[in-house]
Structure 1
Amino acid sequence: MTSHEAAQRFPRSSPYWPVLSHPVLRRILPGLTVSALGDGMAVVAVSWMALQLAPPQQRGTWVAIAMAAYTVPSVLATVLFGRLLGGRGGAQLAGWDATLRAGALAAIPLAHLLGALSLGLYVTLLAASSLLHSWGTAGRYTLIADVLPERHHLAGNATLGVIGELATIGGPPLAGLLIGWAGAVWVIAIDAATFAVLALTYHLAVPVTDRPAPPRTGPSRTAGFAVIRHNRTLLGLIALSFGFFILFGPVYIALPLHIVDDLHASATLLGTYYMVFGAGALLGGLTVGYLRRWSLWRVTIGIVVGFGLTMLPLGLGAPTSLSLLAFAVGGAIWAPYVPTSMALFQRSTTSTNRTQVLAANGAVTVLAVPAGTMLGGPLVSALGARETLLICASAIITVGVLAAGLTTHRTPSEGPRHAPGV
């Protein structure tokens, strides 16, 4: 095929065309993009609001509490609401999550206007907003699996990832400008508005008549965890994800301290590291749809090993230009992990247990990064920032190599299989 013929066939020849042109998804993706941008701004606004509300001597503690409240409560809700939410449709779960987030976050600027916003109320509202986060994430990926044939799942997952990466690049700088102009509380108000738009989008894009009826008798609260426990493919995948994410967690502590203490540089360099990582992740995310003919298990394990290798220059004290380049490559390698691992989950579950399994996976992975971040403090204090980076890189490589060794003895199935129901 000539380049002219290829250009004429594009974009219909792209693996992303079936996703972008799907009658349901093309109505949902704009709402997801708006909401992702709002959430990208909230990453900055949530911590900045905590800084404004907290006593000066307790700022660090309250920032950590606020950021944890914005994510961690969903772990508890995965178990508490398992019987109620298991078996619900993907769009319904994602819509409920967006509705709760919109309401709880909107209460923050309302309390501010009434002069009633305290630290305790702020953290409580953040925690309430995050309760259905794992179920909402499970709902989005369940919807992808429900409306697209299996061969397009990877491209669908990658589209969600690219939207997130774009929001990560654009959201924080925009939040900085808006905080300087209007204040952090109004950035949170904008985030609430974007979730309201997303909730309305789900309601309009998937009519009630197209949604599966809820089960008459709900599954057990821990149904998703039970399915994973009885399925070696899923158990191995969730163990790999947990190990990967928890070992990356200390980087959030070690990298800033490495820049300040070892390199004697400013916050500008830290921002540059995150910028090149985000740019690499965006490029890496765009390539995911073209991996559909590859062995997804080998790709997923290769991502873990490859990412660990890109972290080595930081841990070994390589020149800044080299470590920045490696960090950008690391972002490109990192980006496909969630789409490929989610595709493996989608292929290894059934329509009856998919939402429970994906919610359980979300609960485990949501815990992993904060747990690793908390581990980073003692590690840096005991060993030093650069040494911690080196240990994390080496440990990530080790986890990937061990996973590769295990799969040579028993290659997990990537095709549809009926995981045990509960």
Structure 2
Amino acid sequence: MKRALARTFQSLTVRNFRLFAAGQLVSVAGTWMMVVAQDWLVLSLTDDSATALGTVTALQFAPLLLLTLYAGGLADRYDKRRLLMAANLVSGVLALLLALLVLAGQVQVWHIYLFALGLGTVNAVEVPTRMAFVSELVGAELLPNASALSAAYFNIARVLGPAVAGLLIGWFGTATVMLVNAVSYLATVAGLRLIRPGELHRGKERPGRARVADGLRHLVARKDLLSVMVLVAVIGLAGFNFQLTLPLLAKTVFHADAAAFGLLTTAFAAGALLAALVTTLRRGRPPLLLVIGAALGFGVLELLTGFAPTYASAAALLLCTGFGSMYFAQAANHRIQLGSDPAYRGRVMALYTLVFQGTTPLGALLVGWLSNTWGARSGLVVGGAVSLLAALGVLAVHRGGSVPAPAEEPHGEHPGLSDGRGRVPVPSPRSRDGSPASPSSD
């Protein structure tokens, strides 16, 4: 038991990672509080409009479609620590401006749209940079563990944030929650400032040019990566729209108040947290069949959640669905990340972010339309069914022998870090970790 706990929290023995994780825990909790406050405010201003809520979600994720690939090049080329500090400061300013509008009683829906677009633009740079930065904090050997712990603190924040936000909204209103979120970004900035740059695991040189096309060519040449990326894209589009489906389910199906909505989100996050802790014990690259199995399980659970007859059964199923969503996301993340060449990992993970989160605007608009037309349950039912069919499709292709296994790695090399040609590249851990993609990830 003692040994298992030591393995679970092994990355926390690294000072730089401890500082980063502590700052992120506070900041991400504030972000999830903001998600609840923002969604509740939109529904309050628009008479529970699913279309308006879908528009906010779409605007927040639309910049990922346009900027994430370029941001992956930035993450490979420039100082990730400085990029992250700048991104968090800008996000804090945006949150503060929206909070002041709410306090003044002047907020309108278009203000929230504008804020969502601004935050999405910042996140397009922050997400792939943060994911790539974790490997600099801990090095290649601890990368899977640090990735899972990143998902764990993300979901601890996701458990605490919505629960606290629901209470604060009932007591003080949405503006207070938004102010707390604005201040919380300073925790990440402080942690980054305290990090010792000399202890980071960086390559000797950054590339003068980090072209997106090179990253795309690397991915296309690796069919074992491409099949998982396709699966992530479909499930990200159809199945991972909980920022939209959960508030609609709570408010329009179960007629819950803000506190009860927060508890539904907390149930989902608690399941995701449990999955993140389970995956801290993973060593090496997960097999493709594990990724497919995780996708199948997630699809079934989301489908069942869409048919939940009562609030209590929905909460129980969301706990299981949260577990399934995180287990799949981590398996896919580790499969892609630990199978790609470190020299391209920033760009490959930018592609991962693009297909996982960049499809969210389309998914949000689709789910918004479905919910307005067929009711709030339809978003979960269709998302689960499509995820299930996508997993079965990739399984059929795999069973047909169309997805080749990567080259065998020579004995003694770090598992999963082969570039697919039977050799281990010179470590340049400015690549990336397996941290969650975003308060919607990751």
Q: TM-score range by the shorter chain?
A: 0.7 to 0.9
Work out the number of aligned pairs and report it: 409
- Report whether the alignment pairs 1:368 with 2:369: no
Matched with 2:434 is none
Distance 1:110 1:405, change over 3 A: same
Relative contact order (C-alpha < 8 Å, sep 6+): which is higher?
2
Instruction: Give per-residue Cα distances to partners, 1:109-159, cap 9 Å, x unaligned.
Output: 456789986655554344233323233222232233334354532221111
1:366 Cα offset (Å): 1.4
Distance 1:382 1:188, change over 3 A: closer
Matched with 1:266 is 255
Matched with 1:95 is 85
Instruction: Give per-residue Cα distances to partners, 1:278-310, cap 9 Å, x unaligned.
Output: 322222221112233673422221111011222
Q: Give unmatched runs, 5+ long, in structure 1.
A: 1-5
Matched with 1:3 is none
Counterpart selection for 2:147 from 157, 163, 168: 157
Spell out the pairing of 1:3-402 with structure 2 (5 A cutoff).
6-7=1-2, 9=3, 11-12=5-6, 15-50=7-42, 62-79=52-69, 81=71, 84-109=74-99, 120=110, 122-207=112-197, 210=200, 215=206, 217-221=208-212, 223-249=214-240, 265-267=254-256, 273-292=264-283, 295-314=286-305, 325-380=316-371, 389-402=380-393
Question: Would the aligned equivalents of 2:285 and 2:338 in 1 still touch at CA under 8 Å?
Answer: no
Question: Would the aligned equivalents of 1:223 and 1:357 in 2 still touch at CA under 8 Å?
Answer: no
Look up the SS of the partner of 1:131 in the other structure.
helix
- Report whether the alignment pairs 1:404 with 2:405: no
Higher alpha-carbon deviation: 345-354 or 34-43? 345-354
Question: Would the aligned equivalents of 1:16 and 1:155 in 2 still touch at CA under 8 Å?
Answer: yes
Distance 1:80 1:42, change over 3 A: same
Alpha-carbon distance in structure 2 between the residues aligned to 1:80 and 1:10 = 40
Letter in 2 for 1:21: T
Alpha-carbon distance in structure 1 between the residues aligned to 2:165 and 2:382 = 34
Alpha-carbon distance in structure 2 between the residues aligned to 1:32 and 1:170 = 13
Alpha-carbon distance in structure 2 between the residues aligned to 1:111 and 1:385 = 30
The CA RMSD measured in Å over matched residues stands at 3.8
Percent of aligned pairs with the same amino acid: 20
Distance 1:136 1:386, change over 3 A: closer
Q: Give unmatched runs, 5+ long, in structure 2.
A: 407-414, 426-442
Instruction: Give per-residue Cα distances to partners, 1:236-291, cap 9 Å, x unaligned.
Output: 22211111122215676667777888xx7432676665443332222222111223
Higher alpha-carbon deviation: 379-388 or 70-79? 379-388
Distance 1:59 1:21, change over 3 A: same
1:37 Cα offset (Å): 0.7
Alpha-carbon distance in structure 1 between the residues aligned to 2:333 and 2:16 = 20
Higher alpha-carbon deviation: 343-352 or 102-111? 102-111
Question: Would the aligned equivalents of 1:279 and 1:328 in 2 still touch at CA under 8 Å?
Answer: yes
Alpha-carbon distance in structure 2 between the residues aligned to 1:185 and 1:223 = 45
Alpha-carbon distance in structure 1 between the residues aligned to 2:331 and 2:33 = 26
Matched with 2:432 is none
Matched with 2:418 is 417
